[in-house]
A and B are shown apart, each in its own frame.
Chain A
């Protein structure tokens, strides 16, 4: 039931791109993306509600393939501030509000 994220960890140099994937074995209504820095709370990035929908702000965007039951988070021209652990939270039923989080992807950006 827990979505599977890949990769588990990635190390980049500043300015490089990264893709983080989130796959579910169940049908999804929505996917929520969060970033958590060490010792802090998860911080909301974006919600994807419709199949095929792609959202983004600044250089972080995401897509949601409802048929494949998966979502991908795209970080382009990464900045040092992007370092942290990224979580996807999946919601199976509209309005259920019950999110099941993946195990996280640790992203390290080096100068």
Chain B
């Protein structure tokens, strides 16, 4: 089975540019999570969806960040405009929530560098 798929794997952009990260969850999973990992802040949850509906976006840093999940097959995380402090590895994870807690399976991540 294919795991969580993320694209691109690496992104280098200049300050002020728009960045779009993409995620395809594991087929059949109904929850999707976006995380950001940096040396300073560690692994932090940005937003998560359940059945394509955003449940908690309290971790989204500011209005420059937005996330969508138009269907069960696809999610995007957009940063507009990007800033150097957004440089990080962004992970997408998915799980099957069936009445309790469940394992979150992480994608390979997108390494974002904002110059």
* A complexed with B: yes
Write the residues of chain A forming the contact surface with B, with a CB cutoff of 8 angstroms.
2, 29-30, 32, 34, 40-44, 47, 49, 87, 89, 91, 94-104
Q: Are A95 and B56 in contact (CB under 8 A)?
A: no
User: What is the predominant secondary structure among interface residues of chain B facing chain A?
Assistant: strand
A85 to chain B, nearest CB (A): 10
Count of chain A to chain B residue pairs whose CB atoms are closer than 8 Å in the complex: 58
The answer, yes or no, to whether B25 is at the interface (CB within 8 Å) is no
Q: How large is the interface on B (under 10, 10 to 19, 20 to 34, 35 or more residues)?
A: 20 to 34
Contact A95 B99 (CB under 8 A): yes
* Residues of chain B within 8 A of A91, CB atoms compared: 101
The answer to whether A42 and B106 have CB atoms under 8 Å apart is yes
Nearest first, the 5 closest Cβ-Cβ pairs linking A and B are A41-B106, A101-B43, A30-B101, A44-B103, A103-B42
18 A-B interface contacts by CB (under 8 A): A32-B104, A41-B91, A41-B108, A41-B109, A47-B101, A91-B101, A94-B100, A95-B97, A97-B31, A97-B55, A97-B101, A97-B102, A97-B104, A98-B45, A99-B45, A100-B45, A103-B42, A104-B43
B95 at the interface (CB under 8 A from A): yes
User: Of B100, B105, B108, B109, which is in contact with the most chain A CB atoms at under 10 Å from its CB?
Assistant: B100
Which secondary structure characterizes the binding site on chain A?
A: loop
Identify A98's interface contact among B43, B48, B107, CB under 8 A.
B48
A28 and B13 CA atoms in complex are apart in Å by 40
In the complex, what's the smallest C-beta–C-beta distance from B22 to chain A, in angstroms? 16
Does B91 lie within 8 Å of A97, measured CB to CB? Answer: no
Task: Specify which of A32, A95, A99 is in contact with B100 (CB 8 Å cutoff).
Answer: A95
Q: Which residue of A lies closest to B3 (CB)?
A: A41
Instruction: Report how far A25 CA is from B37 CA in the complex, Å.
Output: 22
Check if B7 is an interface residue, CB within 8 A of chain A: no
Beyond known contacts A2-B42, A32-B103, A43-B106: 19 more, CB 8 A cutoff: A40-B108, A41-B108, A41-B109, A42-B91, A95-B99, A95-B100, A97-B33, A97-B48, A97-B97, A97-B101, A97-B104, A98-B48, A99-B45, A101-B42, A101-B43, A101-B44, A103-B42, A104-B42, A104-B43
